[in-house]
Amino acid sequence: MQPRLIAIALLCAGAIAFACGPRPRESEASPAPVKRPPTTERTTPLSTEIASSFSLSVASDVELRLHVTNSSTKRLELTFPSGQTHDFYVLDSTGREVWRWSKGRMFTQALQKKLLESGSTMAYSEAWDAPDTGGTFTAVADLRSTSHPVEKRVEFTLQ
């Protein structure tokens, strides 16, 4: 019985010694990690190679249109982390999300790349069947590219 108690005591002492052991000096410590914004938040393109416009029209529904143009002189490769290339969503005046195009949809979980020739434009268009209640809303268009992300916002009012 005593050899077991001695073994347990030695294990505990070793764990305490390891936990309380020497620490590296400040000059030897690794640098603090660089804080980067989450990849899901994209507010501006990484470069000026992409020009974009976001427009909407209100009729029986709200038609949302995002145009992305390669404004550089070379072909660009847009990288997408999944089968989802874009998204549209609408926020009410308090910032609460009231509609998202991708909600309830499933996308492939495979990396994909799309080439955009110089001067070429990709267009995305979706419709939101807006509620009968009026109010002020903000529509957001999001190009989900990790290499050239784009996010555009347009405020509008329904009567």
Range of the domain at 149: 50-158
Per-residue pLDDT, 17: 64
94: β partners: none
DSSP state of 73: S
Residue 8 phi/psi, 5° resolution?
-65, -45
Q: Which of 24-33, 39-48, 68-77, 83-92 has the lowest mean pLDDT?
A: 39-48
Note whether residue 30 is domain-resident: no
pLDDT at 45 over 50: no
Averaged over 146-158, what is the pLDDT?
A: 94
Ordered DSSP codes for 81-143? SSS--EEEEEE-TTS-EEEETTTT-----S-EEEEE-TT-EEEEEEEE---SS-EEEEEEEEE
Per-residue pLDDT, 42: 42
Note whether residue 86 is domain-resident: yes
Provide the pLDDT confidence category of residue 23 given band limits of 50, 70 and 90: low
Note whether residue 41 is domain-resident: no
Note whether residue 13 is domain-resident: no
Higher pLDDT, 33 or 49: 49
pLDDT digits (tens, 9 = 90+) for 64-118: 999 999 999 999 999 999 999 999 999 999 999 999 999 999 999 999 999 999 9
Half-sphere exposure of residue 116: CA atoms within 13 angstroms, side-chain side? 23
> What is the total count of domains within the chain?
1
Closest CA to 51 of 32, 35, 68: 68
Per-residue pLDDT, 1: 58
Per-residue pLDDT, 47: 53
Alpha-carbon distances of 125 from 55, 71, 143, rounded to whole Å: 10, 21, 12
Domain at 145, CATH number: 2.60.40.2360
pLDDT at 32 over 80: no
Look-up: residue for tokens 């052991």?
A: 21
